[in-house]
Structure 1
Amino acid sequence: MYLKINQADIGYKTPLISNAEADLSLGDVCLLIGNNGVGKTTLIKSILHQTPLLNGQISIQNKNVKDLSVKEIAENISIVFSKAVVPQNYTVEDLISLGKYIYYPYYFELKKKDKTEVSEIINELDLNQYKNVLLKNLSDGNLQKAFIGRALTQSSPIIILDEPTTHLDEKNKIIILKILRKLAKEQHKLILFSSHDWRLAKEFADKIWYVKDQQLYSGIVEDILLQHEELTNVSLFKVNENFVAPKISAPPFHKEMLYSLLQKNFQKDLSYLSFDFNNGFWIISGKQLHQQCKSFEEITNFIKNIH
């Protein structure tokens, strides 16, 4: 595990989150959710060691974050806050280039390979036409992409985003979340982002950290949602145009969760499979296959092994 929280009490004088246990690996996309004031931002600041733990440990690559220097933390973690100050006289290219200055003093000029990497990131985020535009003249969606670009140029294995889709319309939310998932899977980044819009975000996250009643519940998205009735709200929709769905016989929310899980993780045609939910178990059948699974994690592992 690349990022690990071990028996941590998170807060200030008294814990907002008690005895937290969770871990994430490179390539994971994790959604951090919870009501206002439960400690989501404090948890992020604790990972950055901006807010010391009351008890326990947070480690990156088996190193306690409290033993890491500010520079070492910056080399491991890129952060995008939703309320970031927008430098008024900076262009998109200026902002994205800033990520490289964790490696140099500010009076140094970036090397040719750094400038090439900045250009590649601008292109990846589809910001070429805005590279010389002042940040104050950008739309909210493109401004958020520019801040994500700055985080990418740090070349850090972990990217943490605090409410990255706040104030964005649905189209731009989907664009941002697709970019984050692509980064995790293609560049092997660990992505942790907080959001109130869990019904949309669950389509893109592998795991959830859910803060409630001073506890941190962590696990695969679909399993955590099913364990908490307040998070269930059926809203089946398709975001992966290449996905061909299997036959699913289940209550509406269980069907939604399975559909979400499968289209998120599998590009191939799954129409030859049938999924039947019965007495708390999923029965998977098709093409001489017959498997019983208790959790969505078991389903994911099973399908990965037959492809």
Structure 2
Amino acid sequence: MFLDIKQVSIGYSEPLISDINTSLELGEVCLLMGNNGIGKTTLIKSILGQNNLLGGEIFINQKSVKKLNPSEIASQIAIVFSKSEIPENYTVTDLISLGKYIHYPYYFKLNEKDITDVNEIIDKLNLTHFRNKKLTELSDGNLQKVFIGRALAQNSPFIILDEPTTHLDEENKLMILSLIRNLAKNENKLILFSSHDWRLAKEFSDKIWWLKDKNLISGISEEIILNNPELVTPKILDFNHNFHSPDIEAPKLEKEMMFSFLQKNFASDLRNFKLTFKNDKWELKSDDFYDNYHSFPEIKQSLQNLMNTIESD
């Protein structure tokens, strides 16, 4: 395994996460998820050798992180942060070229092979037309691709991305997630990325690391989700105490969504009504009423009319 974590506890004076035992191989994509403040950044810094471990050991390519100097770690791991400073007046080519300088002194001039590598990365990321564009003139999606390009220029086998889809619209999120997966499979890179958009991101990951209750739950993405139904089951809060739900007969997801919709729109006692989801339609019934609807707004309008009739009587 390229990344091997054995009996590791991370944190500061007290452990945030204890007894981590997991591993990742080249060519895999792993999604790191968990609530804010639970230890995602601490785990990333521990893998990078920036935080002292409270116990256990982390191995990168069979070498202990404790025994690697910063230059050796940089040769193995590239990192892309979600909040990166944009160098003033830098172009796409300038920023991607910076990835080469982990191998050279700052005053060194890139050789012909380095320049060719940078140009190939620009083409691979579909940034050819932006080669000489200033970073400040790029869209958020293309800017994120440029920072990923800098990581590729570093030519490290392991890339860590911290919230790579933050502030991106849906189209650009899909573009970046597809890019991440293609890099892992086509370039044999190990990719570890954190994301709050895990419902979308899970589709692109081979494995999940889920930080929960001071533990790291790890495994095949689909198995983690199947074994932890709370990841896909919506949590509906009963916050409207003036609302009394009708009887709702429907599959779990449809039932919870209907309850959520009604409590946001009614401060009423709807217990004399029954809603049944059948053949992709909702049946609304009471003692003296029956009708079918296809959409939530139709149900809302009908219930409002019925409640107004009851109040006027």
Please give the TM-score of this superposition, normalised by the length of structure 2: 0.74
Q: Distance in 2 between matches of 1:233 and 1:138?
A: 38
| Equivalent residue number for residue 33 of structure 2 | 33
Aligned: 1:220 with 2:196 = no
Aligned: 1:59 with 2:94 = no
SS for the counterpart of 1:186 is: helix
Q: Distance in 1 between matches of 2:213 and 2:89?
A: 44
Look up the equivalent residue of 1:29 and give its one-letter code: V
Q: Distance in 2 between matches of 1:111 and 1:144?
A: 26
**Structure 1 stretches of 5 or more lacking a match?**
235-250, 254-307
| Equivalent residue number for residue 205 of structure 1 | 205
Q: Distance in 2 between matches of 1:176 and 1:166?
A: 11
Shift, 1:233, TM fit: 4.5
Q: Distance in 2 between matches of 1:226 and 1:37?
A: 25
- How many residue pairs get aligned? The number is 237
| Equivalent residue number for residue 111 of structure 2 | 111
| Equivalent residue number for residue 186 of structure 1 | 186
The structure whose Rg is larger is 2
Q: Distance in 2 between matches of 1:108 and 1:136?
A: 26
| Equivalent residue number for residue 88 of structure 2 | 88
Look up the equivalent residue of 2:157 and give its one-letter code: P
Shift, 1:89, TM fit: 1.6
Deviates more, 1:219-228 or 1:147-156: 219-228
Q: Distance in 2 between matches of 1:138 and 1:96?
A: 14
Alignment of 1:136-285 (within 5 A): 136-233=136-233
Q: Structure 1, residues 50-83: CA drift from partner, whole Å, max 9, x if none?
A: 1111111111121110100100000000000101
SS for the counterpart of 1:202 is: helix
Q: Distance in 2 between matches of 1:252 and 1:205?
A: 26
SS for the counterpart of 2:95 is: helix
| Equivalent residue number for residue 74 of structure 1 | 74
SS for the counterpart of 2:108 is: coil
Q: Distance in 2 between matches of 1:63 and 1:252?
A: 48
SS for the counterpart of 2:204 is: coil
Alpha-carbon distance change, 105 to 210 in structure 1, aligned in 2, over 3 angstroms? same
Aligned: 1:128 with 2:134 = no
Q: Distance in 1 between matches of 2:223 and 2:177?
A: 21
SS for the counterpart of 1:203 is: helix
Shift, 1:230, TM fit: 1.9
Shift, 1:128, TM fit: 1.1
Q: Distance in 1 between matches of 2:22 and 2:159?
A: 17
SS for the counterpart of 1:104 is: coil
Look up the equivalent residue of 2:38 and give its one-letter code: V
Look up the equivalent residue of 1:140 and give its one-letter code: D
Please give the TM-score of this superposition, normalised by the length of structure 1: 0.75
Shift, 1:86, TM fit: 1.1
Q: Distance in 2 between matches of 1:97 and 1:194?
A: 25
**Structure 2 stretches of 5 or more lacking a match?**
235-250, 254-313
Shift, 1:252, TM fit: 9.6
Alpha-carbon distance change, 56 to 110 in structure 1, aligned in 2, over 3 angstroms? same
Q: Distance in 2 between matches of 1:164 and 1:24?
A: 20
Runs of 4+ in structure 1 displaced over 3 angstroms? none
Shift, 1:220, TM fit: 0.2
CA RMSD, 1 decimal: 1.4
Q: Distance in 2 between matches of 1:4 and 1:169?
A: 34
Look up the equivalent residue of 2:229 and give its one-letter code: E
Look up the equivalent residue of 2:22 and give its one-letter code: A
| Equivalent residue number for residue 241 of structure 1 | none
Alpha-carbon distance change, 27 to 252 in structure 1, aligned in 2, over 3 angstroms? farther
Identity %: 64
